[in-house]
Structure 1
Amino acid sequence: MNQNTLMNVLIAALILLVGFGVYYLINIGNQHVTPSKRIHFHRNRIFRLTAIVLGVVGFLILLRYNPIIRSVLFAIVFAVVMAYILNPLVVWLEKKGLKRPVAILLIYLVIAGVLVFLFVLVLPRTVEETTKFLRALPGLLTTGTSNLLNFLDQQFGAMVDLEELTNRVNQMINDSIGTIQQTLFNFAGSVTGYLGGLFTRIVGIFIFPIITYYFLNDKEKFTRLIVDAIPANRKQGMSAMAKDIDISLSQFVRGRLLMAVFVGVTTTIFLFIFNIEFAIVIGLITGIADIIPYIGPFMGFLPAVLLALMQGPVAAVRIAIVFVLIQWVENNLLGPKLLGDSTGLHPFVVLMCLVIGGSLFGFLGMIFSVPIVSAARIIWIYYKDSVHNRKLN
């Protein structure tokens, strides 16, 4: 155990000791005041909450220092998410006459086929384009700058001091090329290292599809176990709350995934049509970024237009028009049908979720922050209603 961990444990222990000390001091004080002025505690709730906090802290410490448990837990979490996403498709196949195990295996075969296709055909091309892009970056920046300056010269030559502007831009490029290349290579290296580490976690990788299968196949059993663990007087409210959370999350998650696939594939096709280099890489970035509400499309739009600009202003204008059309279709045709007002969150709250989630947990934080806050909002609403009803009774 390193020094930082030991310090954190000592701080947590000190906080607990202070809490218990305050609790007992208040109890001693209660013995010397009238009943109306005493501070009352729910002792069972306090001990229960303390036990929960200690259990969570102990579990997090164990998770931090035991890679096998961490790998298994991540596999379980991702299996739950995957089962949740795939369950509607399994139900649809059941309605077509297939038994549930057969439907699950059929979906597994389709997923395996897609993965093989990606690894055999798409992944090599993507790696090749990415490597080519990193090597060609200095030349692309120079060419793009030259094209932009020529365009400005033709349109605003009399209004702009192009010689001074050219010198400044060239100086900026020379100063930034090394930094940009190093950043991109570091990012590629970190992604490669992460993927390599991911595949070395054999335990998690092998049990992930197995756990997903059992969650899908025995969904009713797991649901019954959870329902049986809920007190009888709270089953109705908890069931309604779970149903509302399911409707909100399923609509948001599946809607965003479908729209991301649409945006990524459509963007790639149009980039190929207009003969824009690195079409697969840009399409992949655009599709993944589109999962993030509001700011995701801009994350894909900027690199596409910049790379197109390096091939000329006309190509950049074409790509900009394509992106505007794709976003119009997504926001006006697909979005209302697939999403609606699924989260119930104000756009400002969504943006705050993205900023906070991204700063704390990176890209995954930006993806999962909105559905988590949406679920927390529903839980809070039901909790307030429950407290209000108890006061009335």
Structure 2
Amino acid sequence: MNKKYIYERAVLITYGLLFYFLLINFEKLLKGLGVLSSVFFPILLGVAFAFIFNIPMSFLEKKISKILNKISLKERTSFMIRRSVSLAIVIIVFISIAIITMNILIPQVVQSMYSIIEKIPTTIKELENFFRVNIKNTYLLEWIAMRLGQVDSNIVNILNNVAQAILNSIIDITFGVTTTILNSIIGIIIAIYILLDKEKLKSQLKLVIYRISNDKYSKMLTSILKLTYYKLRRYIGGQAIDATILFIMIFITMTIFKMPYTLLISSIIGVSAIVPIFGPFIGALISILIMFIGGYNNIGWFIVLVIVMQQIEGNIVYPIVVGSSIGLSSLNIIVAVIVFSSLFGILGIILGIPLFGVFCEILSKYIKKE
């Protein structure tokens, strides 16, 4: 019997058994990964920062390089200037956005939410009066009044519990915020070291891959890593730009028409746009509910505004910014969102779709090759 045939079948059986073992111990695997991620969280955060920073940094390096080419500088000097300047710009912009978010956006959003919460009991009373006037069925009217009363009392209980929890946990909250800030600072420092020497780290990783496996599998693994990086970079960068543009569009339009809760609504719709297909619908429904509870009279105009802005974003902005970088059909995206969000939550939604795109592309190449 051919030795190559035996080797390939042995490898296939080994990987099959390994996959089966991971599948039956999936819950334990997730717990173990959770423990490891908490221990190495600052390092993982640094890698994540490096990945995100590298997207605008690479763009800036190319632009700065064109400017420096007009000046007669040594290659090493030119490299150090464009690398350090582009990294410094990205770090300064990131820190500025974080400071603006914490000092301006978050307080205004929280204030809007408190204003809406205060209006919930009044809105419930208005709904009850509306049903009393327009519904003649006594049993249905009593049932609606009972349900609205339950909602009202539940909201009051929830608000009381939240207030009590905040008072009891203020030390934990302070500690958590301090820990997050420290982890972020450490992560940024790690990201800076990674980005300053990213070519060397890339060559070292490639060397390790070629040392631990033969040429065939090394090339395959290298190509998979390149494809994964490309998909993640295009998807995350594209989705972030797309969501930012939608946020600005909604914010400016609502400001022009003098609608309430401008910052809160534009933030919700912008963030929800990060999730394909489901995100825009969820963001629109939440926004409409907030405007209704807040007592905004021209709900119809607001719905028209949201629909028009999302159509512009979906049909003009999204194809230009993101394009077909994911390589997935709408059905595949729905499956990826459902599966990965169930397993890994928000992180699953962000990373699951491009990773599923990588899997589908590799599978497609394998099938065509066969």
Provide the TM-score with structure 1 as the length reference: 0.70
- Hey, what does 2:228 align to over in structure 1? 245
Checking the alignment, whether the CA contact within 8 Å between 1:82 and 1:212 is kept in structure 2 is: no
Alignment RMSD: 4.2
Question: SS at the partner of 2:274?
Answer: coil
Checking the alignment, whether the CA contact within 8 Å between 1:248 and 1:342 is kept in structure 2 is: yes
Tell me, yes or no, if structure 1 residue 222 matches structure 2 residue 205: no
Give 1:294 shift.
Answer: 0.6
Q: Distance in 2 between matches of 1:360 and 1:195?
A: 30
1:115 to 87, 94, 98: 98
- Hey, what does 1:79 align to over in structure 2? 49
- Hey, what does 1:364 align to over in structure 2? 347
Q: Distance in 1 between matches of 2:368 and 2:116?
A: 56
Q: What is the one-letter code of the residue matched to 2:192?
A: Y
Checking the alignment, whether the CA contact within 8 Å between 1:286 and 1:297 is kept in structure 2 is: yes
1:351 to 328, 334, 352: 334
Q: Which deviates the most, 65-74 or 362-371?
A: 65-74
Question: SS at the partner of 2:298?
Answer: helix
- Hey, what does 2:249 align to over in structure 1? 266
Pick closer, same or farther for the CA change 1:363–1:137 going to 2, 3 Å.
farther
Q: Distance in 1 between matches of 2:258 and 2:248?
A: 15
Tell me, yes or no, if structure 1 residue 179 matches structure 2 residue 154: yes
What does 1:3-42 align with in structure 2 at a 5 Å threshold? 42=10
Q: Distance in 1 between matches of 2:141 and 2:250?
A: 32
Q: Which deviates the most, 244-253 or 65-74?
A: 65-74
Checking the alignment, whether the CA contact within 8 Å between 1:263 and 1:287 is kept in structure 2 is: yes
- Hey, what does 2:119 align to over in structure 1? 136
- Hey, what does 1:94 align to over in structure 2? 64
Q: Distance in 1 between matches of 2:13 and 2:182?
A: 38
Q: What is the one-letter code of the residue matched to 1:322?
A: L
Between 1 and 2, higher relative CO (CA 8 Å, sep ≥ 6) is seen in 2
Question: SS at the partner of 1:99?
Answer: helix
Q: Which deviates the most, 91-100 or 320-329?
A: 91-100
Q: Distance in 1 between matches of 2:231 and 2:47?
A: 19
Pick closer, same or farther for the CA change 1:304–1:143 going to 2, 3 Å.
farther
1:170 to 142, 145, 168: 145
Q: Distance in 2 between matches of 1:57 and 1:301?
A: 35
Q: What is the one-letter code of the residue matched to 1:283?
A: S
Q: Distance in 2 between matches of 1:168 and 1:338?
A: 50
Pick closer, same or farther for the CA change 1:114–1:194 going to 2, 3 Å.
same
- Hey, what does 2:359 align to over in structure 1? 376
Number of matched residues? 340
Q: Distance in 2 between matches of 1:225 and 1:187?
A: 50
Q: Distance in 2 between matches of 1:171 and 1:126?
A: 32
1:2-50: CA deviations, max 9, x gaps? Answer: xxxxxxxxxxxxxxxxxxxxxxxxxxxxxxxx99xxx987489959x97
Which of the pair has more CA radius of gyration?
1
Instruction: State the percentage of identical aligned residues.
Output: 20
Checking the alignment, whether the CA contact within 8 Å between 1:268 and 1:283 is kept in structure 2 is: yes
Q: What is the one-letter code of the residue matched to 1:223?
A: K
Q: Distance in 2 between matches of 1:194 and 1:263?
A: 32
Q: Distance in 1 between matches of 2:28 and 2:292?
A: 54
Give 1:260 shift.
Answer: 0.9
Q: Which deviates the most, 310-319 or 324-333?
A: 310-319
Checking the alignment, whether the CA contact within 8 Å between 2:47 and 2:191 is kept in structure 1 is: no
Q: Distance in 1 between matches of 2:332 and 2:150?
A: 38
Unaligned runs of 5+ in 2: 69-80
Question: SS at the partner of 2:277?
Answer: coil
Give 1:290 shift.
Answer: 0.8
Q: Distance in 2 between matches of 1:260 and 1:335?
A: 9
- Hey, what does 1:24 align to over in structure 2? none
Pick closer, same or farther for the CA change 1:275–1:149 going to 2, 3 Å.
farther
Pick closer, same or farther for the CA change 1:197–1:185 going to 2, 3 Å.
farther
Give 1:236 shift.
Answer: 5.0
Unaligned runs of 5+ in 1: 1-33, 389-393
Pick closer, same or farther for the CA change 1:218–1:378 going to 2, 3 Å.
farther
- Hey, what does 2:72 align to over in structure 1? none
Pick closer, same or farther for the CA change 1:241–1:369 going to 2, 3 Å.
closer
Pick closer, same or farther for the CA change 1:360–1:348 going to 2, 3 Å.
same
Give 1:72 shift.
Answer: 3.0
Q: What is the one-letter code of the residue matched to 2:151?
A: S
Give 1:73 shift.
Answer: 4.3
Give 1:296 shift.
Answer: 0.5
Q: Distance in 1 between matches of 2:293 and 2:30?
A: 49
Q: Which deviates the most, 285-294 or 67-76?
A: 67-76
Q: Distance in 1 between matches of 2:199 and 2:84?
A: 13
